[in-house]
Amino acid sequence: MEENLRKDVPVRITVTPRGNPAGVLYISEQDVSSFKVAIKQVPGWDGERDVTFDWIAFGTLKEYETSPKAKAEWERMMQEAEAKRQEKENSQVEKKRREEQRRQEERERLRLGMEGAR
């Protein structure tokens, strides 16, 4: 896998303890094919010194930026996001329009009620 990753973009690794650690887990060493996790003990934290963990790594594929398929997928995702944003905006505008119409109708009812009381 490492031969497919860009070397100029760092791989991001996240670790999540599966238990109660006696401190904070952190990446103590990392290269393109491996990493080591250590624990920085925190005074007063009761917990295990040897704890298992889940991990996930994020890297950038070399061909991702130049791949026509990746570019098309990115553009599709951006269009969907824009459509959702526009839909939300339109919904908010419509909600404001209905609220203003309701206020106008209420003012008209009050005006007619006041004229009828004269």
Phi, psi (deg, nearest 5) at residue 50: -115, 100
pTM: 0.49
The confidence score (pLDDT) of residue 3 equals: 73
The confidence score (pLDDT) of residue 69 equals: 77
The confidence score (pLDDT) of residue 28 equals: 95
3-state SS, one letter per residue, for 18-55 = CCCECEEEEEEEECCCCEEEEEEECCCCCCECCCCEEE
The confidence score (pLDDT) of residue 45 equals: 87
86-111 pLDDT, tens per residue?
999 999 999 999 999 999 999 988 88
Q: Is 118 a residue whose pLDDT tops 70?
A: no
The confidence score (pLDDT) of residue 65 equals: 60
40-91 pLDDT, tens per residue?
999 988 888 889 999 999 888 877 666 777 778 878 888 999 999 999 999 9
Q: Is 10 a residue whose pLDDT tops 90?
A: no
Residue in the structure block whose two tokens are 């908010």 = 92
Q: How far apart are CA 63 and CA 71, in angstroms?
A: 10
Domain boundaries, the chain: 1-66, 75-118
Q: Is the dihedral of CA 74, 77, 81, 87 positive or negative?
A: positive
20-52 pLDDT, tens per residue?
999 999 999 998 788 999 999 999 888 888 899
Q: Please give the single-letter amino acid code of residue 93.
A: V
